[in-house]
Amino acid sequence: MRISHHTAPYAALAERLRARIHEEKTKPGSWFGTEVNIAAESGVSRMTARKAVQTLVDEGLLERRPGLGVFVRSEGPSARRVRFVAGNLLWQPAVVVSQALKEGAEESQLHVSVFDGRGDVAAVVAELRSLPASGVAGAVVMTRHNPDFYRILSEFVAVDFPFVVVGETLSELPAPSVAADNRTGGRLAAEALIAAGHRDLAFLGDRADMSRLRTLGAIDACVKARIPPPRDLTSDDARFGNWEPFIVPLLRDAIRAKERPTGFLCSCDAVARIALKTLREEGLDVPRDASLVGFDDDPISEWITPPLTTIRLDFREIGRCALKLLKRQIERHAAGGVANMPAPTLCPVTLVQRESIAPPM
Strand partners, 74: none
Torsion from C-alpha of 213, 219, 223, 225, nearest 10 degrees: 110
pLDDT (0 to 100) of residue 238: 54
The alpha carbon dihedral of 118, 121, 123, 125 has a sign of positive
Query: What three-state secondary structure class fits 178?
Result: strand
Q: Report whether 207 contacts 199 (CB < 8 A).
A: no
The pLDDT tens digits of the residues spanning 88-139 come to: 888 888 899 999 998 888 777 788 889 988 888 888 888 999 998 887 889 9
pLDDT of residue 332: 81
Answer for the pair 63, 74: CB distance below 8 angstroms, yes or no. yes
- Asked if residue 78 has pLDDT above 50, the reply is no
Confidence of residue 310 (pLDDT cuts 50, 70, 90): very high
Amino acid identity, residue 175? A
Please write down the HEC assignment for all residues of 79-126.
Answer: CCEEEEEECCCCCHHHHHHHHHHHHHHCCCCCEEEEEECCCCHHHHHH
Mean pLDDT of the chain: 86
**What's the pLDDT score for residue 79?**
46
Beta-carbon count within 10 A of 61 CB: 26
Residue 240 burial (CB < 10 Å; 0-12/13-18/19+)? buried
Q: What is the pLDDT of residues 160-204, one digit of tens each?
A: 899 999 988 776 677 788 999 999 999 999 999 999 999 999 999
**Mean pLDDT on 257-270:** 93
Q: Are 105 and 323 in contact (CB under 8 A)?
A: yes
Query: Which domains, from first to last, does the chain contain?
Result: 9-72 (1.10.10.10), 182-313 (3.40.50.2300)
